[in-house]
Structure 1
Amino acid sequence: MDRTEIPLYFQFFNEIGIIGQLSRAMLEAQLPKGLLAPHFAILNHLIRVRDGQTPLTLAKAFQVPKTTMTHSLGILEKHGLVALKPHPKDGRSKQVWITEAGRTLRENTIEATGPAFAAFAEKFDPRTVGEIVPKLAEMRAFLDAARDAD
């Protein structure tokens, strides 16, 4: 890579970061009091990837300390959105299972973001977004694999 391209890549990731902050605020406006975007992200991960994972596996996936994940899971459990059950093969750990209330909250939150998405769709049509999403997914997969290689 040419050193003159570094600002371009910095700007690219900076824009993604700002989009992340703005979309997080949009999402959190739809969540019940006491829940934040990271809590929603855990629910989304459990549905998108799979539930039944251990807190340590989730902490690694989210790149946070296990204590942070344990705290977040405690909040989700308090709200009845996940259930922590003993791991059948390892008595020292637990598995995290999303509850029906957690699935419903995720779906309702996604649905509630509809008006904000509608305003976005007025400016950026589905074809344009549909062209960008696969490239972003490819970039995410690359970064994820590079992280796991460390």
Structure 2
Amino acid sequence: MSKNDKSGEVSASDIFAFFNEIGIINQLSSTLLARTLPQGVHPSHFGIVNHLYRLGDGKTPISIASAMQVSKNTMTHSLRVLVDHGLVTVVPNPGDARGKLVFLTPEGRRFREESIQRVAARFGHLFKPEHVEAMLRIREDLSSIRRHLDENR
């Protein structure tokens, strides 16, 4: 509800402003992440590694493409980059002779952890205690909104 709106309904400008702030934070944080990644590895590639780490690997390329909201061709290219860097393996799917499954390698797991540590080391000092408190306070709410949006795509 907008500060000026007592009806209980959220205004279009409030919805836009909310997602605009998230989008700008995403752009800024992706740029910070990109500065810490090895040559040829992009934040979108890190996103795939992080997805597999968070939700468990052994996913099909098409399910990862759906989660990342990219085309099958884009996912094929991204997986090739990750395989070339030794971060994932792509193996035949034993349950579907035409399909494949994607697994993180031990190097892929280390890469994720090291990337997070590099970002924290390089940029953690930028945050004042009140910023950290705000991030911790709103993280669960943002996760709830993300889950709701993901369930209603």
> TM-score, length-normalised on structure 1?
0.92
| Structure 1 alignment gaps of length 5 or more | none
The aligned counterpart of 2:61 is 55
- Once superposed, which parts of structure 1, at least 4 consecutive aligned residues long, lie more than 6 Å away? 1-4
Residues 4 and 142 of structure 1: CA distance in aligned 2, closer, same or farther (over 3 Å): closer
The aligned counterpart of 1:25 is 31
Q: CA deviation at 1:129?
A: 1.7
Which residue of 91, 97, 108 maps to 1:85? 91
Q: CA deviation at 1:141?
A: 0.6
The aligned counterpart of 1:46 is 52
Q: CA deviation at 1:146?
A: 0.7
> TM-score, length-normalised on structure 2?
0.90
The aligned counterpart of 2:140 is 134
The aligned counterpart of 1:102 is 108
Instruction: Give the Cα–Cα distance (whole angstroms) in 1 for the partners of residues 119 and 130 of structure 2.
Output: 16
Paired AA for residue 125 in structure 2: A
Q: Provide the aligned C-alpha RMSD in A.
A: 1.6
Instruction: Give the Cα–Cα distance (whole angstroms) in 2 for the partners of residues 122 and 29 of structure 1.
Output: 24
Paired AA for residue 36 in structure 2: Q
Task: Report the identity percentage.
Answer: 43
Secondary structure at the aligned position of 2:11 is classed as helix
Q: CA deviation at 1:131?
A: 1.0
1:42-101: CA deviations, max 9, x gaps? 000001001000101101111111111011000000111100000011010110000011
Instruction: Give the Cα–Cα distance (whole angstroms) in 1 for the partners of residues 59 and 10 of structure 2.
Output: 43
The aligned counterpart of 2:4 is none
Provide the aligned length of Structure 1 versus Structure 2.
Answer: 146
